[in-house]
Amino acid sequence: MLERKIGRTDLSVSPLCFGGNVFGWTADEKRSFEVLDAYVEGGGNFIDTADVYSTWLPSHVGGESESILGKWISERNNRSKVVIATKVGSKMGTAPNAQGLSRRYIIEEVEASLRRLQTDYIDLYQAHRDDTDTPLEETMAAFDQLV
């Protein structure tokens, strides 16, 4: 499959990014693994998820998609062959400050995402939504600190 660079980075990605919001929701672990295997076998390497997937289910707390993806990467031992994108900023849990793009929250959530993904790096870490309560400079400084 043809690959493209992300911006001015050295990251080469397939033009079709696989969205993992269904992992742990409409696709259980077994089905998620099957779909991920087929995607990679077909030449895909770019997988998107988020910390918040799938908090909307009553029995879920968020991070289910990242956890399934992390287990798949660990079991397939293919971390160097896939490009992982995940996101931060959406509401996670019931704590009043468990959302947003403050420096504290970004740092806290990247550590949680790394644990769930069972990796020591995230290729593309993004803001899932705007946060008008946090100065943009604070958000950008936090992302810069992670690079």
Write down the catalytic residue from 53, 105, 121, 125.
53
Has 53 been annotated as catalytic?
yes
Cα separation, 16 vs 91, whole angstroms: 27
Residues near 82 by beta carbon (within 8 Å), at least 6 away in sequence: 40, 45, 46, 47, 73
- Eight-class DSSP state of 17: P
Q: Cis check for the bond before 54: say yes or no (omega within 30 of 0).
A: yes
Q: What residue ranges in the chain does DSSP mark as E strands?
A: 4-5, 12-13, 18-19, 46-48, 83-88, 124-127
Q: Which residues are catalytic, by number?
A: 53
